[in-house]
Structures are given as structure tokens and as C-alpha cells.
Amino acid sequence: MRIPVIAVSFLALFAVNALALPQESRVPGGVALLPLTGINTAQPPSTWYRSNRVMVVPSTDTRLAEQSRWVAVIGIPLSAKPAKRQHVRSEGTSFYFSIQEKAYEAQYLTVPNKRHVEPNPEDVARWQRERRKMNQAFVAWSQPAQAVSRFDLPTQGPFSSAFGLKRFFNNQPRNPHSGLDIAAPKGTPIVSPASGKVVDTGDYFFNGNTVIIDHGFGLTTMYCHMSQIDVAIGDQLKSGDIIGAVGKTGRVTGAHLHWSVSLNNTRVDPTLFLSE
Ligand code: ZN
């Protein structure tokens, strides 16, 4: 039997990244690795969760490979309800998985600029425009030759705020923390933690100077509060390329990098993607 050349080359491409999947954590804000049992397509099957396309990679992990040829790598939103079964569709077949509760701690912060806590109508309109622009970057779907599913750290410094914290700014409840904060002095270089393409830059109301990188297959990363941006939309990056520097622009209490990781347009815990 002849095996189609395209299928062979595709699998060979992914073999380079064998066993480099994110750490699984089936909780709100975590990642599910779901074997797509019974789907035997030659190419990665088109797979959807909550109306977003999902990353699918060949099962190179022996435990998963016993169950299926393909594994969906699914970002679970912080707002997901553990009581509800999660529904995934792939090539006309329904798959389900369940998630567990995770208790995220509360964090109380005092920000000096009151407009960052109680924005005026102009600020709100600006933020809504900016959010739409950023959202386009998060929903982008690209299929680069080199798939990415693990990251190096984008800057050096202590983790100062974990992902998922329930947040209170000047004692008022706000959205939970959608990224990981790394504290570092202003000017500390920020590098791309993997190969990717710059798909958005801007000076945003809450996020300050911001860069978004598309790593392909629905995986994107965002860098906020930068003092400077050294890349432009369309730039192709390799792991370790400098994209800018740590700063304190936007809604901050001090200089740090806010780093978000998004899978299927869902912000998830960046630490699940770190290589040891
Ligand atoms: Zn942050």
C-alpha cells in the first residue's frame, strides 16, 4: 500500500515536537488534551469548541496514541462551569469532557490612576474599540510549517501575580487576572518565547504598549505594559528575538510584564506551557 506523501511529510514535521504538549489541567483556565477517538483523517481534523477552532496535533504521547491518532489541545475559559459537560465537535462527531473546580485566590490592588478603575465614557468607548482589534488577533487562524505548543519565558524576573486571581482594583471587583505577571525593572528585554508572527501592536487604555504574536493553530501570546515596542505587525519571529522592553504603561501598580497565552481564543494559564 502506498502512503500519500503529504501525510508522511506532515507527520514528520510534527515529530520534531513530539511530547512537547502543554501540561494538561482540566479546570477553568486550564488545558484539556482530548484524544479524538475514531477520527482517522490523514490531515488534522477540523475541530471546534464553543464556536472557536481548536488546535489538533498527532498523538505522539504513547498513552494518548493508544486511544487515537489525533489529540485536540483545548483552552478552557475561566468562566466555564464545572457542572456542565464540555462539548467538542470534530468532523461531524461529538466529544465530551468534564472539568473540575479550581479555587483561585483573591488579589487586592491599588492603582494610582482612578480612571483605570472608573473609566469615563470616552475611555470605555476607546477600550471597546481596542478590545475588538485585539480580539481579531486572538481569533486569527494560521497554519505555519512549525507548530508550537511549549514556551520559554519571555523575560527574566519573579512571578508577581499568578493567572486566574480574582481581582479587586481599589476595592472594586474586576475581571479575573487573564495572564501571568513577571516583575522586572523598566527596560528589561522581552523576547518571543517561540517562533511566531506579530499580528497586533498598540498603545491601549488598560494594557498599555502591547504586542500580540500568533504562533499558529489558534495559539497566540500577548505582552502588555511595555516601555517600548521593537517589532511591527507582520514581523516573523524566532524564539529569543527581542520584541520590546518591560515598562509600566496602562493599568499597573509598577513595572512588570503581563503575559497572556490564548488557545482557541481563550486565555489560559501560561505556566502550563513552560518547558522545565
Ligand atoms: Zn497582569
Instruction: Please report the pLDDT score of residue 174 as a whole number.
Output: 85
pLDDT at 16 over 60: no
- Torsion over CA of 26, 75, 83 and 63, rounded to 10 degrees? -40
Residue 193 has a CB neighbour count (10 Å cut-off) of 27
Question: Is residue 109 exposed (0-12), middle (13-18) or buried (19+ Cβ within 10 Å)?
Answer: middle
* Same domain (yes/no): 156, 257: yes
Average pLDDT over residues 99-128: 90
Domain end residue (candidates: 97, 127, 155): 97
pLDDT at 7 over 70: no
Q: How far is CA 271 from the centre of its chain?
A: 11
* Same domain (yes/no): 168, 119: yes
Instruction: Please report the pLDDT score of residue 8 as a whole number.
Output: 43
256-263/180-183 β-pairing: antiparallel
Domain end residue (candidates: 72, 97, 122): 97
Q: Beta-strand (E) ranges in 77-179? A: 86-90, 93-97, 106-109, 159-161, 166-169, 172-174
pLDDT at 2 over 60: no
Domain end residue (candidates: 97, 115, 139): 97
pLDDT, tens digit, 9 for 90 and up, residues 152-179: 999 999 999 999 999 898 888 888 999 9
Instruction: Please report the pLDDT score of residue 109 as a whole number.
Output: 85
Average pLDDT over residues 188-200: 97
Do the Cβ atoms of 224 and 182 come closer than 8 Å?
A: no
Average pLDDT over residues 30-55: 95
**Number of Cα atoms under 13 Å in the Cβ half of residue 239:** 10
Instruction: Please report the pLDDT score of residue 62 as a whole number.
Output: 66
Domain count, the chain: 2
* Same domain (yes/no): 149, 265: yes
User: Mean pLDDT score of the chain, rounded to an integer?
Assistant: 90
More confident residue, 136 or 110: 136
CA distance 275 to 192: 14
Domain harbouring 214, CATH code: 2.70.70.10
* Same domain (yes/no): 27, 147: no
Alpha carbon of 89 to ligand 1 centroid (Å): 32
CA distance 139 to 58: 22
* pLDDT confidence bin for 275, thresholds 50/70/90: confident
Domain harbouring 84, CATH code: 2.60.40
Alpha carbon of 178 to ligand 1 centroid (Å): 7
Q: Domain limits at 80?
A: 2-97
* Same domain (yes/no): 18, 141: no
More confident residue, 167 or 46: 46
* Ligand 1 is an ion; residues with CB less than 5 A from it: 179, 181, 258
Do the Cβ atoms of 242 and 187 come closer than 8 Å?
A: no
pLDDT at 6 over 50: no
More confident residue, 267 or 42: 267
% of residues, the chain, pLDDT over 90: 75
Alpha carbon of 68 to ligand 1 centroid (Å): 37
* Same domain (yes/no): 112, 93: no
* Same domain (yes/no): 111, 204: yes
* pLDDT confidence bin for 18, thresholds 50/70/90: low
Instruction: Please report the pLDDT score of residue 17 as a whole number.
Output: 43
CA distance 221 to 33: 19
* Same domain (yes/no): 42, 118: no
* Same domain (yes/no): 134, 35: no
Alpha carbon of 259 to ligand 1 centroid (Å): 7
* Same domain (yes/no): 155, 73: no
Alpha carbon of 175 to ligand 1 centroid (Å): 11
Instruction: Please report the pLDDT score of residue 73 as a whole number.
Output: 97
Average pLDDT over residues 31-41: 94
Alpha carbon of 272 to ligand 1 centroid (Å): 16
* Same domain (yes/no): 183, 215: yes
* pLDDT confidence bin for 79, thresholds 50/70/90: very high
* Same domain (yes/no): 131, 229: yes
Q: Which helix (H) or strand (E) holds 125?
A: helix 121-139
Alpha carbon of 176 to ligand 1 centroid (Å): 10
Alpha carbon of 5 to ligand 1 centroid (Å): 45
CA distance 275 to 146: 17
pLDDT, tens digit, 9 for 90 and up, residues 219-260: 999 999 999 999 999 999 999 999 999 999 998 989 999 999
- Torsion over CA of 135, 217, 198 and 241, rounded to 10 degrees? 140
